[in-house]
Amino acid sequence: MADTAAGAVTSVTAFAPGRVNLIGEHTDYNQGLALPFAIAEGVTVEAAAIEGDRIEVSALDLAERDTFEIATSAKVEGWRAFIRGIVAELRRAGVELVGTRLRISGNVPQGGGLSSSAALEVAAALALIAAADGECPKRVELAKLCSRVENEWVGAQTGLLDQLTSLYGEEDHALRIDFRSLEVTPVTLELRDHRLVMLDSGEQHSNAASGYNERRAECARACETLGIESLREATLDHLSQLPEPLDRRARHVITSNKRVNDAVEALRRNDFERLGGLIDESHASLRDDYEVSTPAVEATVERLKDSGALGARIMGGGFGGSVLGLFGPEGDPPDEALSVRPGVGARLLS
């Protein structure tokens, strides 16, 4: 229990950031590559140990609450599923939790594709462990644990992109993540006179409710047909063996992995024109091959391109959410666009 020397219960505060993915979408669950970064916006969870075996949660921005027994395994809907899932998964991993009061607040737009859910999972996990004076699992293990919450408690068959980024974020760096080896390599991302912005398409997205799980199942079917373990092993030569639309789904993954390496190279050379071109190619692939765009997203991409973006693309799970735009010094992004830059990863603030 996080007590002061005098015995009074103190509180601990954890923060976990949301993320932007520069390039490499729907590659994480295909053991591929991605190049995300953590952003300054995120979720803050304050935790204080309390008497008894309950978890009392206040979601301050929603003015909603939840109270449950630490040992409960009852499934619920909405934001409550994330917290109950984290508590259950931490216990399953052998972390001894104590009765805790949690206060949650955040500034990542929800459903905007900036990974407010991973930020919530990671911040809640760090706060609960600290309040119990528990030992924090390694970052990669914590990412897997948080991802299990999405998979088993929320019903979204998502990969590790969001959680690894939230945990490994570094200022002025994107992260090249290899989802086969789970190796995370920081890549310098100094924007100088360029800007990266997010523009909301106005269409809320939810991984659990969208076609996300269907895409994941299609990739699994493509692997089965090809007799391979993951699409990381697929090459363009394989495509003729796949029926429509599995051939296009696989092509998206294969070309995305290459685009990630090309983007790393472009960043090494500070070649933002090239990066913009790769971002545009990524959007075309997500729209035509992976089919996760929507009319509202297309209109948002067009708005960014009309404002002079060097590149613009749908980001995250797709089917709505936010659009990423890269602007050079002459570009003029819409006023309501949110400027984003690479920031530090999840941490205890106190």
Active site residues: 162
Q: Segment contacting ligand GLA (CB under 6 A): 23-31, 56-64, 83-91, 277-285?
A: 23-31
Indicate whether 18 belongs to the interface with ligand GLA (CB under 6 A): no
- Sketch the per residue contact string, 306 through 325, with ligand GLA: x for CB under 6 A, - otherwise: ----------xx--------
Residue 301: how many CA atoms within 13 Å on its side-chain side?
Answer: 23
User: H or E element: which one contains 176?
Assistant: strand 173-178
Q: How far is the CB of 260 from ligand GLA (least distance, A)?
A: 11
- Burial of residue 81, with CB atoms counted within 10 A of its CB: 0-12 exposed, 13-18 middle, 19 or more buried: buried
Residue 138: count of CB within 10 angstroms of its CB: 9
Q: Which of 42, 106, 159, 331 binds ligand GLA (CB under 6 A)?
A: 159
Q: How far is the CB of 9 from ligand GLA (least distance, A)?
A: 35
Q: Segment contacting ligand GLA (CB under 6 A): 21-29, 138-146, 180-188, 237-245?
A: 21-29
Number of residues this chain uses to bind ligand GLA (CB under 6 A): 12
Indicate whether 161 belongs to the interface with ligand GLA (CB under 6 A): yes
Of residues 25 and 289, the one with the C-beta less far from ligand GLA: 25
Of residues 54 and 139, the one with the C-beta less far from ligand GLA: 139
Is it true that the peptide bond before 243 is cis, omega within 30 degrees of 0? no
- Sketch the per residue contact string, 93 through 122, with ligand GLA: x for CB under 6 A, - otherwise: ----------------------x-------
- Non-local (6+) Cβ contacts of 206 within 8 A are 111, 156
DSSP string, 228-264: -SSGGG--GGGGGGS-TTHHHHHHHHHHHHHHHHHHH
Q: Which of 31, 44, 158, 300 binds ligand GLA (CB under 6 A)?
A: 158
Q: Segment contacting ligand GLA (CB under 6 A): 20-28, 87-95, 129-137, 332-340?
A: 20-28
The interface with ligand GLA within residues 26-85 (CB under 6 A) comprises 26, 28-29
The interface with ligand GLA within residues 188-247 (CB under 6 A) comprises 207
Contact between 247 and 239 under an 8 Å Cβ cutoff? The reply is: yes
Q: Which residue has the tokens 């007590």?
A: 3
* Cα–Cα distance for residue pair 66/60, rounded to 1 Å: 11
Long-range contacts of 243-247 (CB under 8 A, 24+ apart): 245/218, 245/291, 246/218, 246/221, 246/222, 247/222
- Burial of residue 328, with CB atoms counted within 10 A of its CB: 0-12 exposed, 13-18 middle, 19 or more buried: middle
Q: Segment contacting ligand GLA (CB under 6 A): 51-59, 158-166, 234-242, 296-304?
A: 158-166
Q: Segment contacting ligand GLA (CB under 6 A): 24-32, 96-104, 238-246, 278-286?
A: 24-32
* Cα–Cα distance for residue pair 221/25, rounded to 1 Å: 19
* Cα–Cα distance for residue pair 190/134, rounded to 1 Å: 37
Q: How far is the CB of 157 from ligand GLA (least distance, A)?
A: 9
Of residues 111 and 316, the one with the C-beta less far from ligand GLA: 316
For residue 51, what is the DSSP state? S
Of residues 277 and 317, the one with the C-beta less far from ligand GLA: 317
Of residues 13 and 282, the one with the C-beta less far from ligand GLA: 282
Indicate whether 25 belongs to the interface with ligand GLA (CB under 6 A): yes
Of residues 99 and 159, the one with the C-beta less far from ligand GLA: 159
Contact between 163 and 175 under an 8 Å Cβ cutoff? The reply is: no
Residues that bind ligand GLA (CB under 6 A): 25-26, 28-29, 115, 158-159, 161-162, 207, 316-317
